[in-house]
Amino acid sequence: MKTLILALATSSTAFVVPTPLTLRGFSSVSRNASSLHRLQIFKGLDKAFEEAGPLGKGITVGKVQIALTVSANERKSNDSIFGVLEKHARNNGNNKSYDNDYEDGYGDSQLSKMCHEICLALLRKSDDWISACSDSEWFKEQDMGKAESVYNLWADREACKFEKEYIPPEGMGQAAADGTVAVVSLVIEIQGDETNFDRAGYSLSETKSILTSIASDCRVEGGDCLNAFEVFWTPSEPTEVLTERDTIIDFPELITF
């Protein structure tokens, strides 16, 4: 089984990023991968002394995973969830640049645009969702190093399920023959505490609320509040098929709607 990973970080982050764009793909899902459970600790006292930014106080690291069905016909389309993800994977543009979206020359960062487009693509496929889950952890601004560590940990936990690097050639989706289940995982590091990561998988409305919150917040101040964003998905080869049983084994943290 193969997956694709799209990893980027903005120039506004305090973290040192070796390259602006990293594409990683892996195969061979570990059947013994354990789910990640975290105790959510109330940090109201810490927040009381934090300086608020556009999206609230501190830094939030979050993860959202969505499993959805993709029909054989849709899988061949450039508008499928695979088409959207592969388009970004093949885009080697400079994610630190700004498009001239407005007359004053300022627009959204490439990173925030990617995050926004992927969230919208998932929302448009909400009728096909079968399961989801989410997790998040909040950090004080002075603990940005800890936030970086947790972000890397969560991303690496997903990456370690796979082995082989892989980037699909353009147009390869036309060879797809069978429908499949797709699992898309988003790992996000964003400034503030207002972005919603609560209760994905408990209901469609709550899961939609999370993706809507991320899509909106990632564009605040031209995307400067979005420090890092990484996307994983599987399967990636058009002839490969993932079943609902596979998702239960490989992604036990997913909650069925």
Amino acid at 210: I
The amino acid that residue 181 corresponds to is V
Specify the pLDDT at position 168: 67
pLDDT, tens digit (0-9, with 9 covering 90-100), for 119-135: 999 999 999 999 999 99
Chain segment 138-191, per-residue pLDDT in tens:
999 999 999 999 999 999 998 887 766 566 677 665 566 689 999 999 999 999
Yes or no: say if 184 and 49 are a contact pair by the CB < 8 Å rule: no
Measured distance CA(90)–CA(151) in Å, rounded:
24
- Asked if 187 contacts 229 with a C-beta cutoff of 8 angstroms, the reply is yes
Kindly report the length of the chain.
257
pLDDT at 107: 63
pLDDT (0 to 100) of residue 79: 87
Q: What is the structure's pLDDT at 71? A: 94
State residue 105's pLDDT score: 44
Query: 132, 201 in Cβ contact below 8 A?
Result: yes
How confident is the model at residue 36, as a pLDDT? 30
pTM of the model: 0.79
Q: What Rg, from alpha-carbon coordinates, does the chain have? A: 18
Residues of the chain with pLDDT under 50: 2-3, 5, 7-44, 93-98, 100-105
